[in-house]
Copies of this chain bind each other. A is one copy, B any other.
Amino acid sequence: MKIETKTAHFSSPLYLESGRILEPYEIAYETYGELNEEKSNVILVCHALSGSHHAAGTYEGDRKPGWWDGLIGDGKAIDTTRYFVICTNVIGSCFGSTGPMSESYPSLEPYRLKFPVVTIKDMIRAQMHLLSDLGIYHVRAVIGGSMGGMQALQFAVDYPNFADDIISLAATYATRPWTIAFNKVAVEAIRRDPRFKHGNYAKDDFKEEGLDGLAVGRIAGHISYLSPDSMDEKFGRNYVSNDGLFELFGRYEVERYMEYNTNNFSTIFDPLSYLYIVKAINTFNLSRGYDSLYDAVSRIKARVHLVSFSSDYLFFPSEMEHIAKMLERNGQEYTYLEVESSYGHDAFLVELDKFDQHIKDVLK
């Protein structure tokens, strides 16, 4: 299938949870498969912090496919011969949807730090506008992992009649201080980097040499995406070269991995977008706006499918279990699967073979 980014333009205001308004705004998205006549075969896929709307397929001339390509495609768990799959870039991101480096209409200047704080609730409200625009008022399922899993859960609570099935992987009911602390490394590293210039950098400042603060913050991120055991398996105590032991900057394999992944990332991802999306993750709390988490969860009408990973050190299985317990107590329809994995939080992107059958079953 040919993969291309589409962009929807909205001149109507997007009312944000903060009380502020985003107007106009754009949403970049991709679709895979064909929409049927009844518009009853839609699956909405939600991406995580560093992801984009490019969830599946490979761009012409590109080598790397989308981030969930193993899951989405013809005959795959999310079968594009049967379903029409949509993935949108979240508001605040830097891959085509309106974010802090977008022009703040009517000025031609980017918003920068004047961009309003967006929340998970805002992200999904924007997606609802896009779907309405496409004439889609109901979807077969919403699915996502990590921040994508937060969005899926928020859809379930905020729009109870919107989806038949909600599939949330490696997420939580409310972001705990543990995760906020990991994000804090990135926030401080970016803020304090002189090249960040309090947000007043030029758009192409980091194309050649990424912002160090973002790279450093991302190292902390990568720690939280792995686990002590997965690092043992992946890297052990090996040095990149033999003389590493007695050289101050002699590197262990794990250090090379961190450098490689983060230096590259900092040339691609916009630091302001990183701050805004991290803020959206930090403020995620399914019970905000409701009397309690129980109250929020009891609004859900969709079947909820919770998937956690045994070695997830960012959002622990106990957090997903907590949601499962509330659904159970309330007699709501749900499934809960804890996948045995040593890949940590990353498992939702890596160990697809451990849960793709489960997703197939849900969508049968």
Contact = CB atoms under 8 A, between A and B. Distances in A.
Nearest to A175: B237
A230 to B, nearest CB: 9
A222 B258 CA distance: 19
Nearest to A228: B178
A286 to B, nearest CB: 12
Interface string A81-115: 00000000000000000000000000000000100
A182 B117 contact: no
B188 A216 contact: yes
Contacts of A215: 188, 192
A117 B248 contact: yes
A2 to B, nearest CB: 38
Interface stretch (A31-39, A128-136, A155-163, A275-283): A275-283
A126 interface: no
A132 B235 CA distance: 40
Contact of A216 (B180, B189, B232, B248): B189
Interface residues of A, number: 58
A256 to B, nearest CB: 10
Given A17-B246, A177-B252, A246-B17, A188 B283 contact: no
A33 B19 CA distance: 64
Contacts of A138: none
Interface in A200-220: 212-213, 215-216, 219-220
Contacts of A18: 245-246
Interface in A109-155: 113, 116-117
A184 interface: yes
Contacts of A279: 248
Summarize A's interface: helix, strand, loop or mixed: helix
Contacts of A235: 177
Given A176-B231, A192-B212, A228-B178, A184 B248 contact: no
A254 interface: yes
B178 A258 contact: no
A65 interface: no
Most chain B CB neighbours (cut-off 10 Å) among A113, A187, A215, A236:
A187
A338 interface: no
A245 B283 CA distance: 7
A321 interface: no
Contacts of A191: 249
22 contacts: A17-B246, A176-B228, A177-B236, A177-B252, A177-B253, A178-B223, A180-B252, A180-B254, A180-B255, A181-B258, A182-B223, A184-B254, A185-B185, A185-B216, A185-B223, A187-B249, A188-B259, A189-B189, A189-B216, A192-B215, A192-B216, A228-B316
Interface of A: 17-20, 113, 116-117, 174-178, 180-182, 184-185, 187-189, 191-192, 194, 212-213, 215-216, 219-220, 222-223, 226-228, 231-232, 234-237, 245-249, 252-255, 258-259, 275-276, 279, 282-283, 285, 316
Given A177-B252, A228-B316, 20 more contacts: A17-B246, A113-B248, A176-B228, A178-B223, A181-B219, A181-B255, A184-B255, A185-B219, A185-B220, A187-B249, A188-B212, A188-B215, A188-B216, A188-B219, A191-B249, A192-B215, A194-B194, A248-B275, A248-B276, A252-B282
